């Protein structure tokens, strides 16, 4: 039935758009996911979301324990349509949810006993945590983390903007992942679900079109 629905919806979009969706979904992964913890500056979370889309990361987790924010559409540039956003009102609820999905918790921090980015093992299912602009990650994340990762730096500054850090880390680990033998792609059911969702989001008057489909 879902395949029939997709075929129906695809009749309302161009062949070029259909091919683009097929190409992009084939490169999507949930092997890695990203978490932003109480990021105060709205544009930073939005920029991280954009990086997730660019590097094929399907899930973004946003912890809003202190700061509840909307997504800055100007910075995200439409990425909010293509990336799944999961919101949490506490850090532990996010960590618990990710552990149930068999993710290891990796804290991005220049401190502690952090592993250098180029030494990171990409074979494990991983959630990368990024913290507040000024304070970094919370004690909760640092305590609960299964490991720490840092970007090699050679200047006086010891940290980067969260969106820059996320982009650098994702570019490296995704490239390394796709060179590995890890089965990182989405399942056929996951791809189908995404294709239906993306197609719906590009069709005007989708409510009327869906109503006609179900009347059939």
What digits encode the pLDDT tens for the residues 97-122?
999 999 999 999 987 678 899 999 99
Residues 147 and 63 occupy one common structural domain: yes
The reply to whether 89 and 119 lie within a common domain is yes
Residues 6+ apart with CB under 8 A from 91: 37, 63, 65, 138, 140, 141
Who wins on pLDDT, 70 or 14? Answer: 14
Residues 4, 87, single domain; the answer is: no
3-class secondary structure, 214: helix
Q: Evaluate whether 15 touches 23 at the Cβ level (below 8 Å).
A: no
- Can you tell me the distance from the alpha carbon of 203 to that of 9, in angstroms, rounded to the nearest whole number? 8
CATH number for 55 = 3.40.1280.10
What is the span of the domain harbouring residue 2?
1-28+186-216
Q: According to the model, what pLDDT value does residue 70 have?
A: 54
131 plus 201 within the same structural domain:
no
Q: Are residues 192 and 180 in the same domain?
A: no
Task: State the total domains in the chain.
Answer: 2
Say if residues 122 and 180 touch (Cβ distance below 8 Å). Answer: yes
Regarding whether 34 and 15 lie in a shared domain, the answer is no
Q: Report how far Cα 49 is from the mean position of its chain's Cα atoms.
A: 6
Is residue 178 located within the same domain as residue 198? no
20 & 93 share domain: no
Q: Is residue 90 domain-shared with residue 134, that is, in the same domain?
A: yes
24 and 112 both lie in a single domain: no
Residue 151's pLDDT band (cuts 50, 70, 90): very high
Say whether both 90 and 74 belong to one domain.
yes
**pLDDT tens, residue by residue, 191-208:** 999 999 999 999 989 999
């Amino acid at each position: 039935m879902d395949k029939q629905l997709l075929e129906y919806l695809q009749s309302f979009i161009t062949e070029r758009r259909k091919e683009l969706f097929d190409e992009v979904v084939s490169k999507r992964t949930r092997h890695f996911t990203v978490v932003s913890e109480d990021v105060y500056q709205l544009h930073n979370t939005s920029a991280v979301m954009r990086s997730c889309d660019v590097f094929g990361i399907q899930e973004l987790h946003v912890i809003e324990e202190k700061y509840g924010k909307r997504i800055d559409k100007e910075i995200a540039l439409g990425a909010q349509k293509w990336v799944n956003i999961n919101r949490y009102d506490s850090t532990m609820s996010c960590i618990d949810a990710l552990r149930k999905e068999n993710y290891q918790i990796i804290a991005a921090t220049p401190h502690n006993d952090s592993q250098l980015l180029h030494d990171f093992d990409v074979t494990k299912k991983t959630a990368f945590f990024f913290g507040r602009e000024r304070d970094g990650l919370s004690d909760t994340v640092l305590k609960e983390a299964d490991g720490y990762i840092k970007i090699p730096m050679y200047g006086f500054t010891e940290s980067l903007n969260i969106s820059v850090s996320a982009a650098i880390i994702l570019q490296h680990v995704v490239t390394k992942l796709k060179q590995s033998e890890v089965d990182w792609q989405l399942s056929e059911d996951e791809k189908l679900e995404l294709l239906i969702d993306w197609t719906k989001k590009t069709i005007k008057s989708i409510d009327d079109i869906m109503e006609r489909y179900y009347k059939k």
